[in-house]
Homo-oligomer: A and B are copies of this chain.
């Protein structure tokens, strides 16, 4: 009748400790100076326990991303009724929060995404590409701010892509720069 496994169950405490240690070390050291041994030590867990549940460093990051442990809550896209202002402040906030000078969290995420499929996809989702960003744009259409036939997906990718490109070439984006992006990309779609 029952198909439950027998034996001890996965330790939730260990799982949490690992994810927290990962988030902490990722934020402080960056993707490629974060080591599995470091995570194990920081989490007070044996290396084997990590490898038992996560096949690689990338999977660990992806999991943190999935559980919203890497990106602060401030990064949620606001909805004040003014798309342009909302997108502008969102972009500026992302940069302010994630892209410190030397070791940038955003750049670390990009590095992780570049070498791990799962992270790539989770990052895509986490930046709102799969819901919140297009949702926001759609609500702008409903509000009559954008034309009904505006290419939402492309607009979203253009905005987030610009962001990532800037992070890669070590250029910051301030409020004014963000506004320029938004204007350039949204221009054609104004109602």
Contacts and interface: CB of A to CB of B under 8 A. Distances in A.
Interface of A: 30-32, 107-108, 110-111, 113-115, 117, 120-121, 123-124, 129, 151, 154-155, 157-166, 168-170, 180-181, 183-190
Contacts of A32: 115
Interface of A is mostly: helix
A154 B180 CA distance: 7
Contacts of A186: 188
Nearest to A173: B157
Contacts of A151: 180, 183-184
Residue from A114, A180, A181, A185 whose CB has the most chain B CB atoms within 10 Å: A114
Nearest to A118: B170
